[in-house]
Amino acid sequence: DSGVTQTPKHLITATGQRVTLRCSPRSGDLSVYWYQQSLDQGLQFLIQYYNGEERAKGNILERFSAQQFPDLHSELNLSSLELGDSALYFCASKALPVSYNSPLHFGNGTRLTVT
């Protein structure tokens, strides 16, 4: 058990809808990362937060947004969903900022299916 909790485990929704994925980092970890794993794109970095502030952005669509709250949990919001958004979404946490050497700990992912 990595200590990173993601909910829900599975989500099935229709095109055009909006969903929220939740992540609770390991106790004490200040950095949260989001990744998307789709069949044709591999594991893609979406966005990173450190102590509530956005630190780095990857290939995140404008329809997607995220935030990290004062209690350090994070939410990834996906709107106007398309079939191609079906993927496994991972959250990971790290004790220190990226510039410091420490491992990334991953949750078990949320599997999103858009029908």
Partner 1 sequence: GIQVEQSPPDLILQEGANSTLRCNFSDSVNNLQWFHQNPWGQLINLFYIPSGTKQNGRLSATTVATERYSLLYISSSQTTDSGVYFCLGGNEKLTFGTGTRLTIIP
Q: Which residues bind partner 1 (CB under 8 A)?
A: 2, 33, 35, 37, 42-45, 48, 55-56, 58, 88, 90, 98-99, 101-106, 108-109, 111
Task: Name which of 16 and 97 has its Cβ closer to partner 1.
Answer: 97
Task: Name which of 28 and 70 has its Cβ closer to partner 1.
Answer: 28
What does DSSP assign to residue 82?
Answer: -
Task: Name which of 79 and 98 has its Cβ closer to partner 1.
Answer: 98
Angle at Cα 106 formed by Cα 66 and Cα 47, nearest 5°?
Answer: 25
E strands present in the chain: 5-7, 10-13, 19-24, 31-38, 42-50, 53-57, 64-68, 74-78, 87-94, 105-106, 110-114
Task: Name which of 19 and 105 has its Cβ closer to partner 1.
Answer: 105
CB of 16 to partner 1, least distance (A): 26
